Each structure stands twice: as C-alpha cells, then as structure tokens.
Chains A and B, each alone.
Chain A
C-alpha cells in the first residue's frame, strides 16, 4: 500500500516537475545566435536593441534591422537563416517573445541606466554575447526574477546620488 503510494507520488512528481520547469521556456520564431553576431561579427548591442540608450525599453529588433545584412540572399547555409529570409520576404513581422520584464507598477528606464548611469549591459544581463541559442529565462544576471532587492542593492552600492531608494521614483 505505502510503496504503491510512494511509487504513485514519484510518478506524479516526475510528470509535473519537468513540465512546470519547461512550461516557461518559449520557442522564439528564429533561433537567433547572440554569440555569432556579437562576439564574432562585433555588432554593437544597440544596433539591434535600439531603445537601450534613448528610451525606457531596449526593444527587440524588427526584421528591417536584420535585413540590412540578410536581405540579399543567404550568407550561410543555416535553416534558421532560411526562416529569417522567409520573414524578410514575406509580410509578417518577426514576433520575438520577450522574457525580461518588470511588473507594470515599476518604472525602469534603460536610457537612464545606460546613458546617464553609464552602466554596461553585462551589469544586469550577464554575458548575453556568449549565448548561441535564445535564452529561456529572463536575462538578469543575479537571479531568475528581477526582484526589488537587486535594484536597491545596486542603487545603494553605486555611490551615485541619483540612484534612488525612494518608492515614488520606481513605483507608479
């Protein structure tokens, strides 16, 4: 009886755990490769994430940006590139799935941190340049979730008088 129960419970757990862990990993429309474009081709981050220095949101690149290099036919032989070219030639936009975001009650501005604060992307996103396949969980280097503690910890350590701990300036 009890062994049956343990067996059953283990089966259930086995069935539930992997699905719940993977449930959150989304399939991007194209398996984009940061390592190739950033480390090898040395394309600056802000070439694709055009809002990072000038707006609140860094933004994910529309196909027009990819087209600057990819529109004159395939550069290589990858299937993923073939998908991209299909997008570029077709009418549909590429709908990248965005993983990294804070709750809507928080104000976070990229330009404030990147331009005014002179912080490198790595400080918060870790080594994005090393990823050969799309990330499957939010790109925040310190932990899986963007908790308030991380914001506050850096604000306190930064020695920058403008890095606030005032609720009014982060919450909205």
Chain B
C-alpha cells in the first residue's frame, strides 16, 4: 500500500533540521477566571536533526507545548527559539500534524495536500511535490476524493502528506499515527524514520505509545502529570532500523512505563 520509491524524489529539496530551544517555558489557561497551569518550567534543547518523542499522561500539556513550538500561542513565561531566532508566530519551516487530521472538507485530497504550497504562492511551479507526497502516503489514487469519503486512517495520512510537502525544518507530530491500524502504523513508522534519516529535519513526536517512541526516536522525554514538567530525558542509542524485540528497548520501555506509573503491571 505504501510506496517506498518516491522518497528519493521528494528529496529534491533537501533541508537540514533546525535546532529548537525551549527555555523555562511555563503556560497556563484561564478557565472561568481560575488559572489552570499546564506547563511548568519546561526546558528542552533539541539538536538539529534530532528525533524527540514526548510521552506523558493524557491532558498533561503535550499538545499545548506543540502549539507553543508552532508559534500558534505565546507562552506565559519563558522563550522558544528556532536556530537562535525567537518563535513569535507560525512559520512554514515548522509544520504541525495535529491530533485531529483537520482536513478542509471543501478541498479534495490533492488540494488539501497542496495547501501549504498554495498559501506560500509557490504551487504553480511545484505541483510535482504534491503528487510525490501523496505517493509517499500511498494515496495517489484518492487524489480527487473529498475528505468525507476517507477513512480515519486515510485522513491522517493525508494530513501527514500535507505537512511533509512543505519540507519543514522542524516536523511537529501530535499522535499522527494514533488512528491507524497496527499494520499501516508499523509501515508508516518505518517510512517516517527513513524519511527523517534522508531529509534530516528535526522531529518532535507526541505519542501515547512507549514502544512507538522507542522504535522511532533517539531521545524520549517523559512528562509528569499536569502541569507538565520534564520527568525524564532518555537517550535511545540504538541504530535504525530498530527491532521491537530488542531487549535493550524492552528495558527502556519498562523504565518509561514505570515513570508513567505503570510499574505494578509490568
């Protein structure tokens, strides 16, 4: 289903990753006048080209942090920098794949994927990139279909293609594989790793799945309950492709689940 060849083609515009500095960031929401602290003094320094997985309990503030990195919201305290430049607003060098696919229902699959190039006014000369991105997620034959005709997993793949087509320096993924069946999910994980290795973009991946984090990332950050604090910052020094049965990863997985409060069962 998922083609492997177009990877080389999408490489036509190589972009190295950017460094990301999250410095003492705190954030809170106002809910009916009371303040709900969501992030508390989070500092993470991400090297260019690193693949960082963020793990944490549901509702702890992971998506909120990603919105700050994207520049969609401003933190209450602290700063975020991309390659030394302060992040104040969204920029296509940092592309987000949101937790919901949020495809535009009035646009066909192809037009959805073309969104970024169109918004930046470069679609006319770069139509090929849209086709390549669709090939990459295995949906080339669905190019003229409207989002309501897609399955949940297909919609999420379109959302992934819509992000990748922009050649981001930092790819921000909020549980992008959450709705996929386990088979497609494993294939997409492999695609993601090989894409990341070829293009070298910095990746920030939120996931609920410790195993996914360990198979994909070279650094796993575990957050505490809300308000999120960095509880552990774990290097995963293992070559790719990684194997799920790797005992080293198994140890790390037990350790992470312990940090998340699941040690009794494992």
- Real complex partners, A and B? no
Residues of chain B whose beta carbon lies under 8 Å from any beta carbon of chain A? none
